[in-house]
A and B are shown apart, each in its own frame.
Chain A
Amino acid sequence: GAVVSQHPSWVICKSGTSVKIECRSLDFQATTMFWYRQFPKQSLMLMATSNEGSKATYEQGVEKDKFLINHASLTLSTLTVTSAHPEDSSFYICSAKPGASGRETAPYFGPGTRLTVL
Chain B
Amino acid sequence: QQQVKQSPQSLIVQKGGISIINCAYENTAFDYFPWYQQFPGKGPALLIAIRPDVSEKKEGRFTISFNKSAKQFSLHIMDSQPGDSATYFCAARRTGANNLFFGTGTRLTVIP
Bound Cα distance from A19 to B51, whole angstroms: 39
Contact of B41 among A34, A43, A97, A112 (CB under 8 A): A112
Bound Cα distance from A112 to B41, whole angstroms: 7
Shortest distance in angstroms between A47's beta carbon and chain B's nearest beta carbon?
A: 11
Shortest distance in angstroms between A21's beta carbon and chain B's nearest beta carbon?
A: 13
CB contact under 8 A between A112 and B42, given known A41-B107, A103-B32? yes
CB contact under 8 A between A109 and B45, given known A34-B99, A43-B102, A43-B104? yes
Shortest distance in angstroms between B47's beta carbon and chain A's nearest beta carbon?
A: 10
Complex: chain A residue closest to B89, CB-CB: A43
Bound Cα distance from A34 to B41, whole angstroms: 19
Residues of A within 8 Å of B13, CB to CB, are none
CB contact under 8 A between A106 and B99, given known A43-B105, A44-B44? no
Contact of B43 among A43, A104, A110 (CB under 8 A): A110
Complex: chain B residue closest to A113, CB-CB: B43
CB proximity to A under 8 Å, residues B48-86? 49, 51
Count how many pairs of residues, one from A and one from B, have CB atoms less than 8 Å apart in the complex.
57
Interface residues on A, range: 20 to 34
Query: A93–B102 contact, CB under 8 A?
Result: no
Residues of B within 8 Å of A93, CB to CB, are 43-44
Residues of A within 8 Å of B91, CB to CB, are 106
CB proximity to B under 8 Å, residues A42-56? 42-44, 46, 49
Query: B43–A32 contact, CB under 8 A?
Result: no
CB proximity to B under 8 Å, residues A65-111? 91, 93, 95, 97, 103-104, 106-111
Shortest distance in angstroms between B76's beta carbon and chain A's nearest beta carbon?
A: 19
Query: A109–B98 contact, CB under 8 A?
Result: no
Beta-carbon contacts of A29-43 to B below 8 Å, as 1s and 0s?
000101000000111
The residues of A with any CB-CB pair to B shorter than 8 Å are 1, 4, 6, 32, 34, 41-44, 46, 49, 91, 93, 95, 97, 103-104, 106-112, 114
